[in-house]
């Protein structure tokens, strides 16, 4: 079972790295899921504080990644259609 979780974690990291380049894939959440899978497999000992901090960082980056372009488009004179398109 732990080998399966490790393999899934490696796949999540690889897809997360691809998500840094491809806008369709959510890179940070997949990388965080890889951290969780590694902890559940027993291969890595991450404490709760570490995972909480990285979970909050992942949440912040994901929210900013989706909402900041729309806000900036409107802030610097873009139309409503430009803001919707950036979402």
- Distance separating alpha carbons of residues 46 and 33, to the nearest angstrom: 13
Query: What tens-digit pLDDT sequence spans the chain (87 residues)?
Result: 889 999 999 999 999 999 988 888 999 999 999 999 999 998 888 999 999 999 999 999 999 988 898 888 888 888 888 888 887
Of all helices (H) and strands (E), which one includes residue 52?
A: helix 48-75
Burial class (CB in 10 A: 0-12, 13-18, 19+), 26: middle
Q: CB within 8 A of 51, min separation 6: which ones?
A: 35, 36, 39
HSE of 63, CA atoms in CB hemisphere, 13 A:
6
- Distance separating alpha carbons of residues 40 and 1, to the nearest angstrom: 10
């Amino acid at each position: 079972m732990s080998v399966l979780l490790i393999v899934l974690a490696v796949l999540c990291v690889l897809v997360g790295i691809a998500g840094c380049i491809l806008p369709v894939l959510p890179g940070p959440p997949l990388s965080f899921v890889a951290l969780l899978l590694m902890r559940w497999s027993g291969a890595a000992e991450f404490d709760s504080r570490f995972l909480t901090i990285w979970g909050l960082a992942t949440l912040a980056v994901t929210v900013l990644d989706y909402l900041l372009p729309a806000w900036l488009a409107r802030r610097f004179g873009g139309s409503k259609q430009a803001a919707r398109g950036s979402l």
